[in-house]
Each structure stands twice: as C-alpha cells, then as structure tokens.
Homo-oligomer: A and B are copies of this chain.
C-alpha cells in the first residue's frame, strides 16, 4: 500500500517534473543504500530502462567488497551495474579540496561519463525530501541567499558536469521513512554505510541532532522547510528569467577575461537586481565559483554607486572592478580590454606636413590641409587652427611627464594634461599613448578634445589648417 503511493508519486515526478521520456534509458547513481536501492527497484518495477553505476570511493577498507555486493543486488533485479574505483584522498590533496568535495567531483564525473557512454537521457540520483531539508538547513547555517535556500532541483542541467544531460532527483518529494517502508515491503536489503551515523560529519549532525531539536519547536518543521524550499525555487526561477532578460540589456561587451556593463543602466536598477547582475557578471569570468558571497556583492554595489571614477576595486579571486565613462568593467589583471582609441608607442615622434598625412599605429591616420575659417562643430576628431599662430611643419607625439597646455576657452594660465584628462574622464589606460598635435613645443590640438587657446580662430576669412584624425576602416563607437 505504502509502496503504491510511492510509485504513483515517483511516476508523476519522473514524467511531469523531471521530464523523462518513458522509452529512453536512465543512468542511476547506485550507492547501495536504502534511497538509491529503492529508486532502482521502483524504476525497474515500473518498466523504465535503467542502468546503474556505482562509484567506489575507497575511503573504507570494505568498500571494494561492498561494490561487488551492490552489483549483485542490481543483477538480481536484472539491471547491469558498472563499477568504478577512484582515489578520493589523492584527488583531494592534488586539488586542495575537502574529502567530501573531492568525492562528489569524482563521483559525478564518473556518473555523467557513464551516462553519455550508455546513451542515457539523464543521470538520476536518489536524494529524498529529508536530504532536501538538510541541504536547505546547511545553506541557512552559512547564510546563503535564494540560490542556496531553494535547495536542490528535481531536474537541473549543471554546465560544469554536462551542458545537455540533466541531473534528476525524482525522490525529492519522498520522505526517507517512505523509502524505508518501501524497502521493507519489497524485501530489499540495502547496505548500511556506518559513516552515516558519524556525527563528526556536518550533515549527519544536522540529521541526527539539529533536526530532532528543531522538531521540539515545530513537529512539522521538516515539512515546513521543504515547502519553503519549493516556494523559493519557484521565486528563484522567476527571478532568474528576469535577470537573464535584464542582463542582455545591461551587457555592453565581453571577451577573454573581461565583462563590460552599462553603468547607467546598472545604477538605475533596484538593489536586488544590481546584486543579481553583478553576480551574473562574476559568473561569466568565474563559472566554477560555487557561491559569490553577499559581502563581495555589497562591496561591488558600493563601488557602482560611488561617484569616484578614478579608483578601482579588487573584488575577489583576481577580478577587479573599474569604471570608464559609462562603462563598468569587471576584468582579470591581464585581460585584453577593447581599446577604442589611438595609441602611440613611447618616444613616438612624426612630422605632419600641411597638406599631408601621417599613418599612426593600428590603422589610425592624421590628415592635414589648407582651408578658410568656418564652423566645424560637434566633431572633436577634426579641427581648424589659425595658420598664423602655428609653426609648420607640425609634430605628432605623446605627452611628456607633467606636460601642461592651455586649452581653448582657458583665458589665462595652463593645466596639466593629466588633470585635463581626469576632468574629461579619459580612462587612465588611454592617456599614455594619446596623440598630441604640436606646434613647436606647444600642444596645438588634442584630438578628441579641443584646440589650444593660442591657435584659436579670431577673424572670419582667416587662413586655417584643417586637421582630422581618421579611425581605422570598420571602426565604430569612437568616443571619449
């Protein structure tokens, strides 16, 4: 009777929530404990095409013998079981992982490889509703957000394991006591892993001590937490869909080691969405990072809201945040960021004849010619300078340390080029190679910005030198 209820709810979970196709194979991770044995038996009984795989962690001396027993139990049910043995402690040492993490990585690696090998539609594991409750509590105890508190999913594609093959957990709404009753009714004899009783393991202490203690507060605490997880999972899905849509609007560009976001758009979002988008950006560069801490997100958020444009923030794991104009840049130290500006090498000097042209690196070009004073406004990439104020030929070079100039509109005195660029918001990395057009040792034109005060136009029919900085072919978005 109990068994029939379990089978009904399992069948519904397999088809409706796990979206499994009845004809196609399922690869089941079989530890030999009550949960996976119950799932194996139930799947076989309902006529699903199931293959089993057992991973021998070699953490206890009897594990090899147990692996043979597990394969025997599967064979008795008419199911083939592949065994693989891994050296978990060695892997843990080599990768700097805990034993649990190393065991999980190796086990899932094996299960997914085996599933691909035998043409399965999914990897199934036998987590129960009790496992779900324990997982949620573990996340709560370390202060997780929605992604943790929602617990495990009945069906999930985990890109780090396989980009297509889903992991399914069809027993996730079945309680452990129902599984045990099923095993008894079906006269199954699961292996008992003695380490499940060892309260030195965090999860076991949760199971055997914390949850019973919480039940003294609310006898239905397990059902309550399970329901919370269900509700949060729905909210998490809704939110993730929204984050993806918003992400597409917020992302400017991405490449090897960098992500560039639209700063103004990001600032216009609510706090929660800001954090979600920042987390999303970090995930692009650090996909393996299981959990981006709330504090890191808050620091990033503080940086985004802060008006200072010159600073940069060491965020986490070698990633830094910086701002350029309307962009927020998250990048690794050596990322090859897009460089949408001209760039001269240190020591570069060239002569610019009038008329004439100078080819700059990367396909940029400066062109000079004669003309008569007229209005060229709105394009900072060309200018007209008073001929009589200039010493020809002009010279093209980069700025010297501490060099000053007197930009158009500054009636007296001068300003350091570096301060001028800070005021104008030119990113630091663009400054060193910026081309200056000079007359003698004075800056006559700063392409992208302004001419100098000394060569401004005064009369209407004055003879002028026209100069233009031409970007490389196909170049777009030239902006300071």
B-binding residues in A (CB < 8 A): 140-146, 149, 202, 205-206, 210, 213-214, 217-218, 220-221, 223-228, 230-239, 241-242, 270-273, 275-276, 294-295
Q: Which of A141, A202, A235 has the most CB of B within 10 A?
A: A235
> Contact between B233 and A272 (Cβ–Cβ < 8 Å)?
yes
CA distance A140 to B140 in the complex (A): 10
Question: Chain B residues with Cβ under 8 A from A206's Cβ?
Answer: 217
Considering only CB atoms, which chain B residue lies closest to A236 in the complex?
B272
> Contact between B143 and A146 (Cβ–Cβ < 8 Å)?
no
> Contact between A237 and B145 (Cβ–Cβ < 8 Å)?
no
> Contact between A231 and B140 (Cβ–Cβ < 8 Å)?
no
CA distance A230 to B274 in the complex (A): 13
Please pick, from B141, B143, B205, B228, the residue contacting A149 in the complex, using a CB distance under 8 A.
B228
Question: Chain B residues with Cβ under 8 A from A295's Cβ?
Answer: 227
**Shortest distance from the beta carbon of A290 to any chain B beta carbon, whole Å:** 16
> Contact between A238 and B141 (Cβ–Cβ < 8 Å)?
no
Considering only CB atoms, which chain B residue lies closest to A279 in the complex?
B231
CA distance A221 to B142 in the complex (A): 7
Please pick, from B143, B210, B226, B273, the residue contacting A238 in the complex, using a CB distance under 8 A.
B273
Question: Chain B residues with Cβ under 8 A from A143's Cβ?
Answer: 220-221, 223-228
CA distance A233 to B228 in the complex (A): 15
* Given A214-B141, A228-B144, also A272-B234 (CB < 8 A): yes
Please pick, from B226, B237, B273, the residue contacting A272 in the complex, using a CB distance under 8 A.
B237
Please pick, from B218, B235, B242, B273, the residue contacting A146 in the complex, using a CB distance under 8 A.
B235
CA distance A149 to B230 in the complex (A): 13
Question: Chain B residues with Cβ under 8 A from A144's Cβ?
Answer: 228
Question: Chain B residues with Cβ under 8 A from A225's Cβ?
Answer: 140, 143
CA distance A294 to B224 in the complex (A): 10
**Shortest distance from the beta carbon of A96 to any chain B beta carbon, whole Å:** 22
CA distance A140 to B225 in the complex (A): 7
CA distance A411 to B96 in the complex (A): 80
CA distance A174 to B231 in the complex (A): 30
Question: Chain B residues with Cβ under 8 A from A242's Cβ?
Answer: 238-239, 242
> Contact between A276 and B235 (Cβ–Cβ < 8 Å)?
yes
CA distance A434 to B147 in the complex (A): 54
- Sample 28 A-B pairs with CB under 8 A, ordered by A number: A140-B140, A141-B217, A141-B218, A142-B224, A143-B221, A143-B223, A143-B227, A143-B228, A144-B228, A145-B228, A145-B235, A146-B231, A149-B228, A149-B232, A205-B217, A206-B217, A210-B214, A213-B213, A227-B294, A231-B294, A234-B275, A235-B239, A235-B276, A238-B239, A238-B272, A238-B273, A238-B276, A239-B242
CA distance A239 to B162 in the complex (A): 30
> Contact between A270 and B234 (Cβ–Cβ < 8 Å)?
yes
> Contact between A271 and B145 (Cβ–Cβ < 8 Å)?
no
**Shortest distance from the beta carbon of A138 to any chain B beta carbon, whole Å:** 9
CA distance A210 to B140 in the complex (A): 14
Question: Chain B residues with Cβ under 8 A from A236's Cβ?
Answer: 272
* Given A141-B217, A214-B141, A295-B227, also A146-B238 (CB < 8 A): no
> Contact between B218 and A142 (Cβ–Cβ < 8 Å)?
yes
CA distance A258 to B133 in the complex (A): 38
Considering only CB atoms, which chain B residue lies closest to A246 in the complex?
B238
Question: Chain B residues with Cβ under 8 A from A146's Cβ?
Answer: 146, 231-232, 235
Given contacts A141-B221, A143-B223, could you give 11 more A-B pairs where the C-beta distance is less than 8 Å? A140-B224, A140-B228, A142-B224, A145-B232, A146-B232, A213-B213, A230-B294, A231-B275, A234-B270, A237-B272, A238-B276
Question: Chain B residues with Cβ under 8 A from A273's Cβ?
Answer: 234, 238
> Contact between B140 and A237 (Cβ–Cβ < 8 Å)?
no
CA distance A225 to B143 in the complex (A): 5
Considering only CB atoms, which chain B residue lies closest to A226 in the complex?
B143
Question: Chain B residues with Cβ under 8 A from A239's Cβ?
Answer: 235, 238-239, 242
CA distance A104 to B224 in the complex (A): 25
Question: Chain B residues with Cβ under 8 A from A238's Cβ?
Answer: 239, 242, 270, 272-273, 276
Question: Chain B residues with Cβ under 8 A from A233's Cβ?
Answer: 272
CA distance A295 to B223 in the complex (A): 11
Question: Chain B residues with Cβ under 8 A from A140's Cβ?
Answer: 140, 224-225, 228
Question: Chain B residues with Cβ under 8 A from A145's Cβ?
Answer: 228, 231-232, 235
Question: Chain B residues with Cβ under 8 A from A214's Cβ?
Answer: 141, 210
**Shortest distance from the beta carbon of A271 to any chain B beta carbon, whole Å:** 5
Question: Chain B residues with Cβ under 8 A from A275's Cβ?
Answer: 231, 234
